[in-house]
Structure 1
């Protein structure tokens, strides 16, 4: 098994919950979110970590995506729904659903986003009331899956015939048959089960491997198309949350460790963003083709 080790963060952002990393190739910019502090961060990778800046919005976001139709706005799944936000101000507009947690854009420009109860209002409890939504390019919203708990990473196979989706408390990444022309999914089955930590966000490389953040597991693992762990990245905090490729590097977000008193070594860099050279590129990320909301 191939092993990588990270000893310090690329950016000590001290987020409450950094999530949703997104790479914008046109500007060589890394974007990520702090769900807890309602921040969206941008890092100019030409200049490095010192260029990091953040904007605080009125609501928290869980995931963002670029819009094919706009360079001054971005699509988000947030505290009160799916919407569009300005890059240079804290303005946003949205359609109401539950708190969005993670999502992805498919090859047709549809926005897939999971929603869950907000633990800030349920005494930290996560209930199986979550929903996986699909927002089509004409603006219609579909409930695809219901009665899920913490909907997380979404990825699509290289041939666009399979969708991978995570419900973290189950320990499972599920696979579905995926009809790219309609967006419909079917034939749910377990693709990979984790005993190493809660599977969280993931990203796919150009060989079809999933790189999966394991919350509570101190690592990111590479899972082959056959469902075998073939590599791991050890990170210096217990709660990595999501992964994005930038060239042959991966950037990894993390959460403030709720048990940092028990794991003080985890608390040193928790909430930071980490970088690891893995020697393989990620598959292309798509822009949303949502016309309007």
Structure 2
């Protein structure tokens, strides 16, 4: 039986134009997320409810912690390695910039780390023309590799708790795919449909400790949970139409949203951060080893 109408609650004012990529900062006890096309990383303190904002790059697509401290950030056409404290004092930061490609019509969009500490981020064309996106992998030695090509809007990517498989979204397919994962090479293999989405577009996703897959449905105002067999067993209502991603902090689920393509004055809460406690437990974010 599918439980419906579990509702997420707004916990910040609208603070992003295109909010994305929530990730828990274990060391800082805060949630980080991005305002992607503004090139900003935002920090939400769940104790005070406060939000701070740091401009860090031309595009801030996806953010993950580094095992050595600091952060790895997917930028417009590559990656940046940030030291501890760089998000709090961006004017004093001296990131290591790593170029992945040069095409100015393409940008990074969403990604994540594998259990071995490699960072992946996929791309899309600004025009959203089909087939121009690629999933890239940044290895700890700072080398960049193409993993999957012929994508359109490369989006959510997350590994199963046992690290044997990865879930992956190319949004216009209206599917979540599952891939076998080779831990030695970092390759994603045997990509096949896991679930097909009938309402909205699949966007960012996360996995809970029981192997359930949580996906934000852009345009549908919802987050769905699917069990490891692909059965829908929970529908979370989000009171704006365009949720973009979600992440657990232990038993708390946070959801980012966007204002993009909305008429002026429509959906005043769009761009805010939302929260609920759905009864599942998350897993700590995987970190970059470089």
Normalising by structure 1, report the TM-score: 0.90
**2:102 pairs with 1:102:** no
**2:141 pairs with 1:138:** yes
| SS in structure 2 at match of 1:61 | coil
Match of 1:37 in 2: 38
Cα deviation code 1:219-270 (max 9, x no counterpart): 0000111111100110110000000001211000011051446x94xx1211
Report if the CA contact (8 A) 1:8-1:269 is conserved: no
Report the Cα distance in structure 2 between the residues aligned to 1:268 and 1:17, rounded to whole angstroms.
14
Q: CA separation of 1:260/1:224 partners in 2, compared to 1, >3 Å: closer, same or farther?
A: farther
Match of 1:241 in 2: 244
Superposed displacement of residue 5, structure 1: 3.6
| SS in structure 2 at match of 1:82 | strand
Superposed displacement of residue 8, structure 1: 4.5
Report the Cα distance in structure 2 between the residues aligned to 1:55 and 1:185, rounded to whole angstroms.
33
How many residues are treated as equivalent by the alignment? 278
Q: CA separation of 1:143/1:202 partners in 2, compared to 1, >3 Å: closer, same or farther?
A: same
Report if the CA contact (8 A) 1:20-1:62 is conserved: yes
Unaligned segments of structure 1, at least 5 residues = none
Moved over 3 A (4+): 4-8, 90-93
Unaligned segments of structure 2, at least 5 residues = none
Match of 2:75 in 1: 78
Report the Cα distance in structure 2 between the residues aligned to 1:40 and 1:127, rounded to whole angstroms.
28
Report the Cα distance in structure 1 between the residues aligned to 2:7 and 2:260, rounded to whole angstroms.
17
Within-5 A mapping of 1:148-227: 148-227=151-230
Match of 1:67 in 2: 66
RMSD of aligned alpha carbons: 1.7
Report the Cα distance in structure 2 between the residues aligned to 1:222 and 1:79, rounded to whole angstroms.
30
Report if the CA contact (8 A) 2:38-2:58 is conserved: no
Cα deviation code 1:191-224 (max 9, x no counterpart): 1110111000001011100010000011000011
Q: Which moved more, 1:7-16 or 1:236-245?
A: 7-16
Report the Cα distance in structure 2 between the residues aligned to 1:212 and 1:268, rounded to whole angstroms.
23
